[in-house]
Amino acid sequence: MAKTITMPQLGESVVEGTVGTWLVSVGDHVNEGDPLVEIETDKANTEVPATGSGYILELLVQEGETVEVGTEILRMGDQKPGEQKSEKPKEKEAPQKEAAPAPTKEAREPAQEKPAAAASKNQNDAPPEAVMDGPRGGVPGGHTAATKSSPAIVSGGRRQQNNQPAAKQAQAPAAQKVDSDLPYGAPQGAKFFRTPPVKANPEDTVIKFSRRRAIISEHMVYSKAVSPHVPTMAEVDMTKVMQHRRANKDRLREQGTNLTVFSYILAATAKALREFPGLNAVVGDGEIIQRGGVHIGIAVETDGGLVVPVIRDADSLSVAGLADAVSELAEKARDKKITVDDLTGGTFTVSNPGREGNLIGFAVINQPQVGIVRMGEIVRRPVVRKYNGEEAIVIRDIMYLSLSYDHRIVDGALGNSFLYRIAQLLTEGNFDI
């Protein structure tokens, strides 16, 4: 008895998915719970398990194909596929028609009199990559515009009309021309700037964009285009944070909590977001929407690319609670068990690029949010401090903390005050475990 597996609903807001990698082949036997396929969405990659035992009869969707939720993607059965499957193509080929005679000159001539119809036929006959290059909906500046061709034939940079007088050629709007030499992700509309086409050499390695990489690329281009990014930076004295961590990390490790510096930065950011709701906001249609909850996204690097899971109500958690939340979400992301719901609803993002040589950096805003904080490397440095009214050179744990904010709704005074408050909280080091 055959049964089918459909594209699952991988989150409340997900309506489609892309078959990334089939983990089984036709003829394989699988048990309930065995992974069948890795599905890619715009949020995460998720393995779909078998709902029962059986043999793989047919893979109904190809790798790289995007289909809607509920679409049948695989067929399973109790018996190993045999001759029945090999006879299936014959059933489809049974009703054959005689080959139609070659059209006469008279039959071909009406098509020349209807250029619009000819253009429609050419469009329908185009290969799939001419219709959709990249993820569903195309990419900014991608090739989807190529499907909206006119009956004009582009040759040598000029438009030519078959059997049309020169007067009608001049009426073809220049705006219909599509420049295919723009780099990936570049917006259309450039009049003068052109870049040479990028082509691979024989010794090069070509890695095709995964769906997630294509989406990340689109997101970054969109974010930089729509949000006027303003960077600002603060030098933070992390000495008291480091002392606080050393005093508590061993005890918490025995309880299963990995107390990281990152959790302190999250705690300070969450508190500052409550005090500065203008950063805990999104830009609506001619309006500013300040979010009621403080839900902080954390950037996590995985084998499949960057994901940003969200810590809900981060301002209600202690430093240890935030550390546990980070560990749980990072583990789920790396084990490909993260859900789309884990990745949605963030109101602000904090980026932790790691401890190796990242002294200073500015991150790209995670749309539709209006700000992102990026921590740098902590380095012990000599600094000048006042003690009993006298200046002295002392060794302190110093970190540079940066903020990128959206200047559409965040002015300099607000952005600088927000970052100053985070730095102040970290410098004071008064945190609840």
HSE toward the beta carbon, residue 118, CA cutoff 13 A: 14
Q: How far apart are CA 332 and CA 316, in angstroms?
A: 22
Residues 213 and 208: their CA atoms lie apart, in Å, by 9
Of the residues 78, 313, 335, 407, which is catalytic? 407
Listed residue (10, 136, 163) closest to 64, CA to CA: 136
- Among 181, 313, 335, 411, the active-site one is 411
Rounded Cα–Cα distance for residues 275 and 315 (Å): 11
Distance of CA 234 to the CA centre of its chain: 29
Which of left, alpha, beta for 426 (phi over 0: left; psi -120 to 50: alpha)?
alpha
- Tell me: cis bond preceding 368? Omega within 30 of 0 counts: yes
CA pair distance 257, 319, nearest whole angstrom:
10
The CA distances from residue 220 to 100, 114, 365, in Å, are 52, 44, 8
Q: Which of these, 126, 127, 128, 124, lies nearest to 116 by C-alpha position? A: 124
CB 126 within 8 A of CB 132: no
Structure tokens at 137: 């909906």
Bridge-based pairing state of the strands 29-30 and 348-351: unpaired
For 188-209, give one letter per residue: b (16+ CB within 10 A) or e: eeeeeeeeeeeeeeeeeeeeee
Residue with tokens 């510096």: 261
Residue type, 363: A
β pairing state of 348-351 and 296-298? parallel
Which residues lie below 8 Å from residue 85, measured CB to CB, with a gap of 6+?
57, 58
Q: Is 407 a catalytic residue?
A: yes
173 contact partners, CB below 8 Å, separation of at least 6: none
What's 344's DSSP letter?
S
Is residue 34 part of the annotated active site? The answer reads no
Catalytic residue numbers read 407, 411
